[in-house]
Structure 1
Amino acid sequence: MSGEDITETTAATGSGDREFDVVVFGASGFVGEITARYLADHAPIGTKIALAGRNETKLAEVRRSLPLRAHEWPLIVADSNSPASLDAMVARTRVVCTTVGPYLRYGEALVVAAANAGTDYVDLTGEVPFVRYSIDKAHETAESTGARIVHSCGFDSIPSDLSVYALYKKVTEDGAGELTDTTFVLKSMRGGVSGGTIDSMRVIAEQARDSATRRLLLNPQALSGGPGEVPRVSLSAEPSDLNLVNAKKVDPSLRGTLAPFFMSSYNTRIVRRSNALLDNAYGPDFHYAETMSVGGIPALSTLAAGVVAVGTGAFLGAMSFGPTRRLLDRVLPAPGEGPSEKARNNGYFVVETYTRTATGQRYRSRMRAQGDPGYKATAVMLAESALALAVDRNRLPSRTGVLTPAAAMGDVLVERLQDAGFTIEATELT
C-alpha cells in the first residue's frame, strides 16, 4: 500500500463509536514521529488519526513537519503518570499505538486503561516482565471488554513471530505434519539498536537484581500461561538463548557456526506464547531457538560466534553494574535519539527460519525488509499493526486479551506487510 495508491476505505466499527481509529501516543518521540509520518503517507483515506503526548507544543511541531493530510489531526495531551488522562485518551479511539517506553516504567497504566475501555493496543516492548504484568493484570479484563492488547509489534518480535507463523501455515497447507525443531537465523542486517531498546535493557538490568524477576527472565515459557500461570519448566526444556549452534544441524544447506541472537531471550518467549494462544497448533514437539549468521567459514565463524556470545553476556552484566552502566551510557544512544533519514532508509534486515516437520520434511521461511530494523522498518510494522486492528477488524481472528502479533492479526498482518514491501514467504526445501 504505497502513498501513490491510497484507496478509499471505511474503518470498521468496533469498540463502540469512537472519535478516532488510531491515536499515536508518544508522537513527539523519535520512533513515534516516524510512525506518524508513515501513517500520514500510507493510512487509507478516511482513517481518523490523532497525535498524543505530554507536551502539546512538541506535538504541534511534529504535526507541522508531517505531510499536509496530517495538519488537521487533533492533538491529545496525555501523560503516563496521569491515569485519568490515559483513561480519557483511550476512550476516544479504537486503537492506541504507543512508543512510550521503557514500558516497565511508563506502560503499566496505559495497558490497564486500554483493557478497561475495550480499546485495542499495540506497542514495541521487548520486556518480559512487562508482558507478564500485562497478562496477569489485563488479560481477563481485555477478554471481557473485547480489547486486543498486542505487544511487540516492531523488530521485536514481528520477524520472529510471523516467520514461524508463515511456516505453520505452509506446512499445514501441504499436509506435512507439525513443526518440530525450528530455528530463526538473522542472515544479515544494517542498522542499529534504538535508544528506546537500550533504555529498556537498562530497566530490565535493574529489575533483574530481584530473584523472582531473574527466575522469570530465565524461564523459557515465562509468557506462555494465562493470568497467574507461569509454567515451571527447566532451562533444558527449550534451546539455550546463548548457545553456539552448528549451522548444519539447523539445515544441511547451512555452513559454519551460528551465534546467539541478542534478542532471543525475549523473542522466543513471544513465539512460544503465540503457540500457546493458538492451542499449541505448531505441534507437541515444537521447539524454538534464535541465532544469527556470522559467516560460513567453520573456524572463523566459530571464533566470531564465541565472541558474540561472550560479548552479549558481558554487555548484560555491564548494564546491571552501576559504574560500567554509567560508562556505557556515554556512548550508547539515548531515548529519543536515532540515525539520520538517509541511514534509516539504507538499513535492511533478512531473516530465515528453518524447521523440520514431524513427517521429516524441511521448510524455510524468509522475511526481508528495507529500512533500519530498529527505526524505519519498526515504524512500518507498528503502523501496519495499528491499521490492521483499526480498519480490518472484521477480518481478524476473534481472539481478545493479551495477544501476540501472530495470534491477534495473523494473515491480515502478513498481507499488510507484504503490501508495504516486505518479503514474507515459506517454501519446502528439497
Structure 2
Amino acid sequence: MSTNKEFDIVIYGATGFTGRLVAEYLVKQYSKDNSLKWAMAGRSAAKLAQVRDEINAPEDTPLVIADADDIDTIQAMLQRTKLVLTTVGPYQVYGSELVAMCAKSGVDYVDLCGEPVWMGEMIALHEKTAKQSGARIVFSCGFDSVPSDLGVYQLQKLAKQQFGHVMSTIRCRVKKMKGTFSGGTAASFKETLTAAKKDPVKMEALLNPFSLTPGYTGANQPIGNKPFYEEDLNTWVTPFVMAVINTRNVHRSNFLLNKAYGEAFTYDEMFMTGPGEKGEAVANAMANDKSMGGDSGPKPGEGPSKEEREAGFYELLYVGTDAFGNEIKLSVKGDKDPGYGSTSKIIAEAAICLVQDATATPGGIWTTAPAMGDILTKRLERNAGLSFTQE
C-alpha cells in the first residue's frame, strides 16, 4: 500500500456525471475533515474548474490533468495519490491500463465495474502483481455489488451468532426500487455482450457463476432466467438485471474468505413483482424488457435530475435457509436512486474506508466484504443512507 502521498484519493473522471456526484458528496460530507486529502482528475483543466465551482468545492481543491490517451499523465497521477477512484467506463474499454499501472505502482483502486468477464481477465493478469506491490484493487464498489456483497456477509454473521453455522442457501429478492440504471452501466452491459458474442471463451466466462474464483467451482447454482411463483414469499419473481455481476462478486467473496459460506453455498437474485395475475403479468413484462441493451436509456455522462435522484430508493430482502429448516432474513435499504445517488455515496465511502480504516488489508484484487466488511458496513449506515436490518 502506498504512503506519503500528496492525496489520499483522486477522483478520476470527475467531470463525468457520476464522478461529479462523487466529488459533490465529498464536498458535502467531508468539507470539514482536514484529514482527508482528495483531488479531481480529468482530461480538461477548464472542465474540472467548472465542475469544482458548480459543486461549491473549495477554490483550492486540487485539479489533476489525467488522460487515458496519455500514459505519462496517468503515471504522474498515480505518483501523487494513495488511491484512484475511477468512474471512467466501460472499464473493458478504458480501464485495463489503469488497473495494470495501479497494480504495478502499489496504488489502491476502486471502481463501479459491472463487467465480470473483464474483471476475470484483470484478476488473471494482475492479482500476483498487486499482492507483491501492496495495491488493493476493489472492483464493483457501487450499487453493484456492495449491497449484495455486504448483505450476504452480514446475514451469514447473524446466522453464525443465532444458529452456530452459516446458511447454505441465500436468496436476494428486490422488494422495491425507484430509479434508473446508469448510462455507464448500460454501456458496459452492451460492451460485455458484444465482446462475448464474438468470443466463445468470453461467453463461457459470462455464463459461469464462478468466473471470478480461479481454480474453484462450488455447488450448482440456481439459474434464475425466467419468472416463477415463490410460495414462501407469496410473490412472483423475475430475473434481476444486476444478478449477473452481483452473484459473481458474492461467490468471489466466499472464495476470498476461505469458503466461509461453505462449499455447498448457493446464491441467486430475483425481482419481486407481487402475487396473483398482476404479479405474473409484471414479471413476464420485465423478463421481456430489453431496454438495458437498447438505445433508449441514458448515455454515459447523462443521468437523472437531482430531484429524481433524491426521490429514488431501494429495498433488498436476503433470505437465508439451511438444511435443518432454519431461516433468517435481512433487509438492506438505500435512500437514493441506486444507479447514481446511492452509488456515488457508496464508492466514496469505500474509497475512504480502504485508505483510512482497512489499512491491514494486504495487496490483491478484492471484493468489498473480505477487504472492508464490518467497517464499510458501519460507514455506509452512518454516512451514506444505507441500512442493514434483520427482519
- Indicate the larger mover: 238-247 or 45-54: 238-247
TM-aligned CA deviation for residue 426 of structure 1: 4.5
* 2:370 aligned residue (407, 410, 415): 407
* 2:352 aligned residue (384, 387, 404): 387
Cα displacement string for residues 255-280 of structure 1 (whole angstroms, at most 9, x for unaligned residues): 12111111111110011001000011
What does residue 300 of structure 1 align with? Answer: 278
Question: Secondary structure in 2 aligned to 1:237?
Answer: coil
TM-aligned CA deviation for residue 315 of structure 1: 5.1
TM-aligned CA deviation for residue 407 of structure 1: 1.4
For 1:422 and 1:38, how far apart are their aligned partners in 2?
Answer: 12
TM-aligned CA deviation for residue 119 of structure 1: 1.0
Quick check: 1:166–1:424 contact (8 Å CA) kept in 2? Answer: no
For 2:3 and 2:97, how far apart are their aligned partners in 1?
Answer: 22
* 2:341 aligned residue (369, 372, 376): 376
Cα displacement string for residues 228-274 of structure 1 (whole angstroms, at most 9, x for unaligned residues): x4x578xx9111141334323xxx3x112111111111110011001
Partner letter of residue 410 of structure 1?
Answer: G
Cα displacement string for residues 273-311 of structure 1 (whole angstroms, at most 9, x for unaligned residues): 01000011012221000011111x233222322222233
Question: Secondary structure in 1 aligned to 2:339?
Answer: coil
Cα displacement string for residues 336-371 of structure 1 (whole angstroms, at most 9, x for unaligned residues): 011111111111111111111354321111111111
Partner letter of residue 239 of structure 1?
Answer: P
What does residue 223 of structure 2 align with? Answer: 240
* 1:52 aligned residue (41, 45, 62): 41
Question: Secondary structure in 2 aligned to 1:266?
Answer: helix
Quick check: 2:144–2:246 contact (8 Å CA) kept in 1? Answer: yes
Q: Could you state the TM-score of these two structures normalised by the residue count of structure 1? A: 0.86
For 1:174 and 1:15, how far apart are their aligned partners in 2?
Answer: 40
Quick check: 1:22–1:94 contact (8 Å CA) kept in 2? Answer: yes
What does residue 190 of structure 1 align with? Answer: 178
What does residue 8 of structure 1 align with? Answer: none
For 1:413 and 1:51, how far apart are their aligned partners in 2?
Answer: 23
* 1:156 aligned residue (144, 162, 175): 144
What does residue 287 of structure 1 align with? Answer: 266
Quick check: 1:53–1:77 contact (8 Å CA) kept in 2? Answer: yes
Quick check: 2:358–2:371 contact (8 Å CA) kept in 1? Answer: no
Residue 248 of structure 2 corresponds to residue 269 of structure 1? yes
The structure-2 alpha-carbon separation of the partners of 1:59 and 1:402, relative to structure 1 and needing over 3 Å to count, comes to same
For 1:138 and 1:161, how far apart are their aligned partners in 2?
Answer: 22
Question: Secondary structure in 2 aligned to 1:293?
Answer: strand
What does residue 381 of structure 2 align with? Answer: 418
For 2:241 and 2:349, how far apart are their aligned partners in 1?
Answer: 25
Question: Secondary structure in 2 aligned to 1:375?
Answer: helix
Quick check: 2:345–2:384 contact (8 Å CA) kept in 1? Answer: no
The structure-2 alpha-carbon separation of the partners of 1:425 and 1:357, relative to structure 1 and needing over 3 Å to count, comes to farther
TM-aligned CA deviation for residue 384 of structure 1: 0.3
Partner letter of residue 29 of structure 1?
Answer: G
The structure-2 alpha-carbon separation of the partners of 1:360 and 1:426, relative to structure 1 and needing over 3 Å to count, comes to farther
For 1:212 and 1:421, how far apart are their aligned partners in 2?
Answer: 38
Residue 194 of structure 2 corresponds to residue 222 of structure 1? no
Q: Could you state the TM-score of these two structures normalised by the residue count of structure 2? A: 0.94
For 1:46 and 1:219, how far apart are their aligned partners in 2?
Answer: 43
| Residues 53-132 of structure 1 aligned to structure 2 (within 5 Å) | 53-68=42-57, 70-132=58-120
TM-aligned CA deviation for residue 205 of structure 1: 2.0
Residue 237 of structure 2 corresponds to residue 258 of structure 1? yes
Cα displacement string for residues 165-195 of structure 1 (whole angstroms, at most 9, x for unaligned residues): 1111111223431221111011111111111
For 2:193 and 2:93, how far apart are their aligned partners in 1?
Answer: 13
Partner letter of residue 97 of structure 1?
Answer: L
What does residue 12 of structure 2 align with? Answer: 25
For 1:104 and 1:276, how far apart are their aligned partners in 2?
Answer: 24
What does residue 34 of structure 1 align with? Answer: 21
TM-aligned CA deviation for residue 32 of structure 1: 0.2
Quick check: 2:358–2:372 contact (8 Å CA) kept in 1? Answer: no
Quick check: 2:159–2:165 contact (8 Å CA) kept in 1? Answer: yes
How many residues get paired?
388
- Indicate the larger mover: 77-86 or 368-377: 77-86
What does residue 309 of structure 2 align with? Answer: 344
Cα displacement string for residues 310-336 of structure 1 (whole angstroms, at most 9, x for unaligned residues): 33xx557xx4xxxxxxxx42x321110
For 2:101 and 2:244, how far apart are their aligned partners in 1?
Answer: 28
Q: Structure 2: state its 5+ residue gaps.
A: none
Quick check: 2:247–2:269 contact (8 Å CA) kept in 1? Answer: yes
For 1:82 and 1:386, how far apart are their aligned partners in 2?
Answer: 25
Quick check: 1:26–1:100 contact (8 Å CA) kept in 2? Answer: yes
Q: Indicate the RMSD between aligned Cα atoms, in angstroms.
A: 1.8
* 2:325 aligned residue (339, 356, 360): 360
Q: Structure 1: state its 5+ residue gaps.
A: 1-13, 320-327
Quick check: 1:244–1:306 contact (8 Å CA) kept in 2? Answer: yes
For 2:166 and 2:183, how far apart are their aligned partners in 1?
Answer: 39
Partner letter of residue 148 of structure 2?
Answer: S
